[in-house]
Structure 1
Amino acid sequence: MTNNLSSSTLRIGRTVQHAPAVDMAAIQADFSPCRTWRYGLSLPFRERKGAMMTVFLKNPSSASELSADKTVRTASEYVWRNFPESGGVHILNLFALRGTDSKEVGKALLAKGAAHVVGPQNDKVIKTTLTASSGVIIAWGGHAGIPASAYDQRVCSCLELLVESGLPVWRNARKGSEKYPFHACYWAYQDALIPLS
């Protein structure tokens, strides 16, 4: 698959098929024209019409309208199994810059600044997506590979957006914290969620 990426983008890893529950024909992917940034990915489920849940991750990798990556596949399968009233899942990210290795994302942040890694349209898409969501599971994990101060600043900004949305927000109960919720790549489908306090 050709990603048509600009020369300034980071390495993009392998893809997997979207979860069987996802309606492939209805997927919506919000990329920048150069596909350097992915702002949002909406994955409606087959034969379900309810409001969609949002899973909030660190930064996008290879998932697109055509295929998933391991994290997106796990997140969508988790929502399908644990939220039977949900019509699908929206995927958002702290940083919209596409890159599989968070160390490369961190290097891009140091070289080009936080605004480049966050992405010029990211906050706008986050706010719009939250208005169309029934709830949010935060799952961005720790700052590994990204400078801690810049990462923590971005986490605080996104937590403020979540508070402003008024939506219920959960994180994985098995591991992590409100600041560094357990990354969705490592979820088990039976994991419980706890609300943010």
Structure 2
Amino acid sequence: MIEELDINAVEFIGNKPCVKNLKYECTGCRTTFNNFEGCSYHTKKRICIQLRSEIDETFKEERLLSFKELWLKLRDGIKDAKPRNTAKGEQSLYVLLDLPLHTSVKMLTFDQFLKSIFYCGVAGNLKLRFERHIAGAKRRHCKFIPLNDKDTMIIDSLTHGRQIVPASIDGLTSNESSALEYSVIMDLQHILTNTDSSGQ
């Protein structure tokens, strides 16, 4: 929503770098701002009338979709989840949730969201990784291969009228993401197999 314009050379004030004449522009109404805070307030607080009308129009279209159509649209958007930068390159932090049918992540409280998490992983393509989780669990189940806790949860959800929902949490700051990833993995440590633990 915010574009950077007119970036000149960096100058130093004392030992701190400072960019001269940095401007930010709202992509909705094209209003320019001299600082990021002003532009961020303008867009995030929905002060921009054009941006607000575009958001309302998007929600209006989604309200007309059936649950199945909306879910398919959401799943298609998962692959567009922005990766976070790590020392090993671009990766995406995601979680798998075990939820009742017709239950959206948006309907959950934060406590319900945390209690619904049964797996936490890192992958570049979230949609592809999600499909591999489902396919792998089904394959091992059909071959009577002993299932770990993650596969057991997937099979149990699929056979008892529940749903497995992948959720990207890249919108969190790096510290929040790392903290959530660590807490989830440590919470599951006692029920993960050695293979899962070393691989994750």
**TM-score over 0.5 for the alignment?**
no
More strand by share: 2
The structure number with the bigger radius of gyration is 2
More helix by share: 2
How high is the TM-score relative to the length of structure 1? 0.28
Greater RCO (Cα-Cα under 8 Å, separation 6 or more): 1
